[in-house]
């Protein structure tokens, strides 16, 4: 009697288990299919250099960002939104520099120019080692490099042929730099670099958030130095030491641009870095745009290409640590050009652009995150 009841119980349990397992697998396959499907209603233009007739191709990245549900809106509304998007879609002119590229650029000559490194000699080597212990990189080598040095252009060639919306169609940007006792030349070179490489009409302001530094070159010299930019660069000193995430929120609240662009305080921007980021947000205000980040070698300040042209994206591993892996083939197959933007599940967090209103609608950074320290 007991054995027969036990068998019935086991059969019922196994049946329910199989039912829910099949239901889960069906739901997973459905979601996967929806995630990889695209629409061909949005077009990007590709124009050959020999004046060949423009070829219209689906712009899959833009199509995946569409928030309009065409089945639920009047045709007139749909057409208006399509017209707006068509004005914002970037397009490529093969062999012809894009609208934000520098024509006939003059190369500068000097230590570190073109992203080259600087080698110290004699007594400077020991001084450089001491600066590494204090700042984490060789400030003595950095001091020998012009504050206006031209970074190495490591972009794929096709990046130079993209055309982006004109400045009147793009949102303005505010760049937030947070630091604590940062080395002088690396910090100030970041400011110079942002200003030198950003279209004037797109750069609303640069917010310097001093996270309660102790060194005089930050607390006294820096506020005086930035006066040369007549208010574009603004200095804020916190009343106590915050972790850098909270300090970024302070900077974001103080800025006046439409888009918050967060950079490290020891960056150098390359040609045409800003319009592509702002274009993604113009197309979809809920996009968080992340640039590809090269590296600056800590000892010589040499600018090195980070990925060698391979496309990577951020992921979480099972230990909940941030990693980067090569972009899957299924995502690459959706791209008409290898220089198109692509989706990523997550990002490193150091450099990004996000619509200011959307940032605060999301709640900004969680003030209870206490792990990350400067």
**pLDDT by 10s per residue, the chain, length 374:** 545 665 666 667 676 666 666 665 555 444 443 333 333 333 333 333 433 333 333 333 333 343 434 445 565 555 555 566 778 999 999 999 999 999 888 889 999 999 999 999 999 999 999 999 999 999 999 999 999 999 999 999 999 999 999 999 999 999 999 999 999 999 999 999 999 999 999 999 999 999 999 999 999 999 999 999 999 999 999 999 987 899 999 999 999 999 999 999 999 999 999 999 999 999 999 999 999 999 999 999 999 998 888 999 999 888 888 999 999 999 999 999 999 999 999 998 889 999 999 999 999 998 887 665 44
Task: Estimate the crossing angle of helix 75-88 against helix 274-283, to 10 degrees.
Answer: 180
CB-based contacts of 38: which residues, under 8 Å, 6+ apart? 58, 60, 63, 64, 334
For residue 64, what pLDDT is reported? 37
Report how far residue 257's alpha carbon sits from residue 205's, in angstroms, rounded to the nearest whole number: 7
- CB-based contact 106:196 (threshold 8 Å): no
For residue 39, what pLDDT is reported? 33
Report which secondary-structure segment, H or E, holds 279.
Answer: helix 274-283
Report how far residue 221's alpha carbon sits from residue 218's, in angstroms, rounded to the nearest whole number: 6
Report which secondary-structure segment, H or E, holds 28.
Answer: helix 2-36
H-state helical runs in 50-178 = 60-64, 75-88, 123-135, 139-143
Q: What is the pTM of this model?
A: 0.78
CB-based contacts of 132: which residues, under 8 Å, 6+ apart? 138, 139, 298, 299
Backbone angles phi, psi at 230, to 5 degrees: 50, 45
165: three-class secondary structure by DSSP? coil
Which pairs count as long-range contacts for 165-168, CB under 8 Å and 24+ apart, including other chains? 165/87, 165/88, 165/90, 165/275, 165/279, 165/282, 166/99, 167/199, 167/201, 167/202, 168/201
- CB-based contact 313:348 (threshold 8 Å): no
- CB-based contact 140:120 (threshold 8 Å): yes
Report how far residue 291's alpha carbon sits from residue 161's, in angstroms, rounded to the nearest whole number: 18
Compute CA distances 238 → 4, 151, 174, 176, 212, whole Å.
73, 31, 19, 14, 5
End-to-end, the C-alpha distance of the chain in Å comes to: 69
């Amino acid at each position: 009697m007991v054995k027969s009841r036990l068998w019935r119980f086991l059969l019922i349990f196994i049946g329910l288990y199989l039912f829910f397992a099949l239901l889960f697998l069906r739901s997973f396959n459905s979601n996967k299919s929806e995630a990889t499907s695209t629409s061909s209603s949005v077009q990007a233009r590709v124009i050959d250099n020999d004046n060949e007739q423009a070829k219209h191709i689906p712009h899959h990245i833009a199509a995946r960002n569409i928030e309009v549900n065409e089945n639920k809106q009047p045709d007139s509304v749909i057409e208006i939104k399509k017209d707006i998007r068509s004005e914002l879609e970037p397009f490529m002119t093969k062999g012809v520099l894009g609208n934000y590229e520098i024509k006939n650029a003059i190369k500068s000559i000097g230590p570190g120019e073109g992203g080259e490194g600087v080698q110290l000699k004699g007594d400077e080597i020991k001084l450089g080692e001491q600066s590494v212990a204090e700042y984490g990189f060789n400030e003595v080598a950095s001091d020998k490099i012009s504050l206006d040095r031209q970074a190495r252009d490591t972009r794929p060639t096709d990046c130079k042929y993209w055309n982006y919306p004109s400045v009147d169609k793009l949102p303005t940007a505010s760049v937030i730099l947070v630091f604590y006792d940062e080395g002088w030349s690396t910090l100030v070179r970041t400011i110079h670099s942002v200003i030198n490489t950003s279209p004037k009409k797109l750069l609303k302001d640069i917010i310097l958030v001093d996270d309660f530094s102790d060194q005089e070159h930050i607390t006294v010299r820096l506020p005086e130095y930035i006066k040369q930019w007549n208010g574009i660069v603004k200095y804020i000193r916190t009343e106590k030491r915050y972790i850098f995430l909270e300090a970024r929120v302070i900077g974001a609240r103080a800025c006046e641009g439409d888009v918050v662009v967060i950079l490290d305080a020891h960056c150098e921007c390359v040609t045409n870095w800003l319009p592509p980021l702002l274009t993604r947000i113009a197309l979809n205000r809920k996009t968080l745009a992340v640039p590809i980040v090269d590296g600056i070698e800590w000892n010589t300040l040499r600018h090195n290409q980070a990925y060698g042209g391979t496309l990577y994206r951020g992921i979480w591993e099972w230990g909940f640590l941030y990693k980067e892996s090569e972009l899957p083939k299924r995502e690459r197959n959706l791209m008409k050009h290898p220089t198109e933007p692509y989706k990523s599940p997550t990002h490193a967090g150091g450099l990004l652009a996000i619509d200011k209103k959307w940032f605060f609608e999301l709640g900004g950074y969680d003030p209870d995150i206490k792990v990350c320290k400067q």
